[in-house]
Amino acid sequence: MGAKTSRAAQGAKNTDGGIGRMDNIVLHVDDVFKSFGGLHALSDIDLQVAEGKTHAIIGPNGAGKSTLLNVCVGRLKPDSGAVVFNGSILSGRPPHEINQLGVARVFQTPEIFPDLSVLDNVVIPALAKRDGAFAIDAWKAMYSEGELKDKAATALEDVGLQEHMGQEGGSLSRGDKRRLELAMGLVQDPLLLLLDEPTAGMSRLDTNRTIELLQKFKARGMTKVIIEHDMHVVFSLADKVTVLAQGRIIAEGTPDEVRGNPAVQEAYLGGVHE
């Protein structure tokens, strides 16, 4: 109940001019433009993600959501503008550096290590977090890395995959692969977790389980940016919603505000739910 009222208060602050002063902004998307050929994929994007909050980015297909995410993780370089995370500019950095700064990404189509065991799939990101981007420790044996494995096992328990630890990653079902990817992101305790449609292609049951899981991690104070199609997911998770259409931000606010916004209904809600 307490959490709910504080979130409402937060929303109120947002309406009268952006983010409350108490909030620490971790991710700053500053005036980003990006075009492919003649197509303006992103124009004039300004976005601020506050620490510990879940920020959803929604919009119809082709609105520029994935482009925006790719700009954030350094896969695409913006034509102008910058993405600043905790004081360091992300745009133009290689992916591993961005990860080492504390930004983890969960992909839309599950990107795992299909030939490795489920446990090793999660040990790898934990290793990256502990040892950095490059380390040759060829004399230590993996089987003496008990602490690392415990950490990975805990992350797998969190997502409910503890019974599949010995299995090969590639043999998991699609839904389980997505959960595995989530565990790979969570095990790093990232400062910022970027989720690209975390429930796409999932059954209703799996979707609800994922929502529950993400809500659980909200309590740990992890900042999240979610790109999502599913309004159900957005409304049950997000503190703040940004609506994109044709590469521009057309609305921003709490889920309730966005839901009531006529421009959003015109561009998105009306368009998709025919």
Partner 1 sequence: MDRSSARNDLLLMVVFTAAVLTMPIWLTPIGAGYPDLLQKFAIFGIFAIGFNILFGLTGYLSFGHAVFLGVGSYTTVWAFKLLSMNILPAVVLSMLLAGVFALAIGYVSLRRTGIYFSILTLAFAQMAYNLAYSVLTPITNGETGLRVLRDDPRVLDHMFGIEVGESLPTPELFGLRTIGYEGFYICAVFLIIAFFVAMKITRSPFGLALRAIKSNQIRMNYTGFNTRPYTLAAFVISGMYAGLAGALMAVTDPLAGAERMQWTASGEVVLMTILGGAGTLIGPILGAGIIKYAENIFSAFNEQSLHHTFSFLPEPLQNAAVSISTMFVGEGWHLTLGIIFMLIVIFLPGGVMEGFRRITRWARKPPAPRRAQKIQTAG
End-to-end Cα, the chain, rounded Å: 35
Residues of this chain, 116-155, that bind partner 1 according to CB under 8 A:
116, 120, 123-125, 127-129, 131-146
For residue 93, state whether it binds partner 1 (rule: CB under 8 A). no
DSSP 200: T
Complete edge-to-edge strand list for the sheet that includes strand 39-50 = 39-50, 25-36, 80-85, 88-89
Q: What is the DSSP letter of 23?
A: P
Write down the least CB distance from residue 179 to partner 1, Å.
Answer: 16
Stretch that binds partner 1, among 62-70, 109-117, 198-206, 256-264 (CB under 8 A): 109-117
With binding defined as CB under 8 A, does residue 71 bind partner 1? Answer: no
List, in sequence order, the alpha helices (H) in 51-117: 65-72, 95-100
Characterise 102 by phi-psi region: left (phi > 0), alpha (psi -120 to 50), beta (else): left
CB of 101 to partner 1, least distance (A): 9
- For residues 241 and 56, the answer to whether their CB atoms sit within 8 Å is yes
Closest to partner 1 by CB, 169 vs 175, is 169
Contacts (CB under 8 A) with partner 1, residues 51-70? none
The answer to whether residues 248 and 57 touch, using CB atoms and an 8 Å cutoff, is no
Nearer Cβ to partner 1, position 96 or 216?
Answer: 96
Piece of 15-23, 88-96, 196-204, 209-217 that binds partner 1 (CB under 8 A): 88-96
Backbone phi, psi, residue 143, to 5°: -75, -5
Using CB under 8 A as the criterion, what x/- string covers residues 179-208 for binding partner 1? -----x---x--------------------
Answer for the pair 56, 232: CB distance below 8 angstroms, yes or no.
no
Determine, following the binding rule CB under 8 A, whether residue 91 of this chain makes contact with partner 1: no
For residue 85, give the amino acid letter. F
Binding site for partner 1 (CB under 8 A): 73, 94-97, 99-100, 105, 107, 111-116, 120, 123-125, 127-129, 131-146, 169, 184, 188
